Structure 1
Amino acid sequence: MNESQRTVLVVGATGSVGRYVVASGIDHGFAVRALVRDAHRAELFPSGVEVVVGDLTRAETLCRAVAGIDAIVFTQGTYGNPAAAEAVDYGGVRNVLTALQGHKARIALMTAIGTTNRKGSHDWKRRAERLVRASGLPYTIVRPAWFDYNEPDQNRLVMLQGDKPLSGDPSDGAIARRQIAEVLVRSLASAAALRKTFELHSERGAEQKDFDPIFASLQADAAGALDGARDKPNMPLDDEPAYVVADLDQVMAH
């Protein structure tokens, strides 16, 4: 490996978006490290991808995964089960940040549209976002619309901010998995994407060649804020579980 090559850890690498992130990371010149629970999943990846075994729900198993990395892309996700969301969507982010032990890395975190709607498991995605912001690490947070419900000619990227009413079906927006991955990976090298939190949609038209002007059009999250720049203030920290507040304190201490 070229000594100047940056290493990106892909969390959720075997998932439907994570596999695209692995491919995009390779395309953009990263040394890609894939975190898996089962070593046999290594066969899913192209030659040259470093596979590391670890359990997102146990921070002590993640030290090798984060050793020497330059960036992390989080794509793990659960849907409809608050307990699983707490353990994986939230706990996985907390445990990777804990394993870093103060090591600096650029972060791209995938959550979902509707993260701030206070419905079920989405609260845990929002808490994961808060951990990333509280960490003080450079980050981009991407909230994709419905995966792969876009039409064949619907490839023009749209990045939105601010809460809006949702119907809970693909009429709320759509984006290709491949494009989600491309946005996550490209954000890692973009100064314009720093401290940006946004929904990712697509509209009819060709995909833009340069993503930086789209990133640059967005409002950055306020320094030290726990929520996104235009998020609804509907999750008071005083109402949060004590252990969630303790997790925030621990992340900030690093």
Structure 2
Amino acid sequence: MTASSVLVVGATGSIGRLVTAEAVFQGLRTRALVRDQLRAGRLDDAVEIVVGDLTRPESLRAAVDGVDAVIFTHGAEGSEETIEKVSYGGVRDVLGLVGGRETRIVLMSAVGVTARTGMYNTAHLADWKRRAERLVRASDQPYTILRPGWFDANGPDEQQLVMRQGDRYHAGSPSDGAVARQRIAQVLVAAIASQAAVGKTFELVAEPGPATRDLEPLFAALPADPSGLDGVGDAANMPLEEEPQRVRDDLRRLGGDDSRR
């Protein structure tokens, strides 16, 4: 499918603002889900604003209605309850509203999402991001999951984009990989139009070298995710049978199967 309209979830965040601008630049009809109308003033005038709250599913219907792509750039900090409601629950509820209508899904996750110990999983932040990834894979929608490195921690000579898989860097510092916010936004929007990016999960980092211009060869070189709930090469350290029952129920409702790993 070729998307012509996109909903950006988390549109007033540091990545979301860049994504909305890039989507407008690429000629997409762009809708922004915002919690606070006042913050929407920072967005491009061409962006359609819809006010809603990821913790109130009933407020999301107007945002989802009629779009053929969704880019998730949202996140949460604080208590585990807040992280679950926003980082995980927001993805679950938007996917539920999309239902069986084919919709291109692009989810921004994070480097370190499979690390179950250490700073990446403070308040189980990584666990809930990973569970959100699993919802996307279980939904049977055409998807891309991007796990960016540390925002804007790359050096001025580090402009060459690299897409890694397997999430094997868990030091909890920019040594795990870094990339500019603007490049993250460009890749998120480019994934909407790329058939080569469908069904793939990858970490996005920048290494020394000139700026990458053509993303298609990078998308095409990535192996697709295996049939199941995790990304290619991910550690098998989150057994489904040990997951909370509510998570297993959500996966089942979205098309997942308790037998999948």
TM-score by length of 2: 0.92
1:57-206 maps to which residues of 2 (within 5 A)? 57-79=55-77, 81-118=79-116, 119=121, 120-206=124-210
Is the CA contact 1:81–1:121 (under 8 Å) kept in the aligned structure 2? no
**CA pair 70-76 structure 1, distance change in 2 beyond 3 A:** same
Q: Give the aligned partner of residue 230 of structure 1.
A: 233
How far 1:84 moved relative to its partner? 2.2
Q: Distance in 2 between matches of 1:5 and 1:164?
A: 32
Give the superposition deviation at 1:81: 4.0
Q: Within the alignment, does 1:250 sit opposite 2:253 as a pair?
A: yes
Residues 166/69 of structure 1: CA separation in 2 closer, same or farther (3 Å cut): same
Q: Once the two structures are aligned, what percentage of the paired residues are identical?
A: 54
Q: Against the structure 1 CA distance between its residues 107 and 5, is the aligned structure 2 distance closer, same or farther, given a 3 Å change threshold? A: closer
Structure 1: 5+ residue stretches without partners: none
Moved more, 173-182 or 160-169: 160-169
- Structure 2 gap ranges (5+): 257-261
What is the Cα deviation at residue 169 of structure 1? 1.0
Pick closer, same or farther for the CA change 1:80–1:43 going to 2, 3 Å: closer
Normalised by the size of structure 1, how large is the TM-score? 0.94
RMSD: 1.5
- 1:158 and 1:94 map into 2 onto residues whose CA distance is 29
Counterpart CA distance in 1 for 2:87 and 2:229 is 17
Q: Which moved more, 1:190-199 or 1:244-253?
A: 244-253
- The answer (yes or no) to whether the contact 2:10–2:34 under 8 Å persists in 1 is yes
Note the alpha carbon deviations across 1:48-68, whole angstroms, 9 max, x for none: 110001111121111100111
Aligned residues: 249
Indicate the SS of the match to 1:198: strand
Q: Which moved more, 1:113-122 or 1:240-249?
A: 113-122
**Residue pair 2:3, 2:192 contacting (<8 A) in 1 also:** no
Of the three residues 46, 59, 64, the one matched with 1:48 is 46
Partner in structure 2 of residue 19 of structure 1 = 17
Single out whichever of 108-117 and 205-214 deviates more from structure 2.
Answer: 205-214
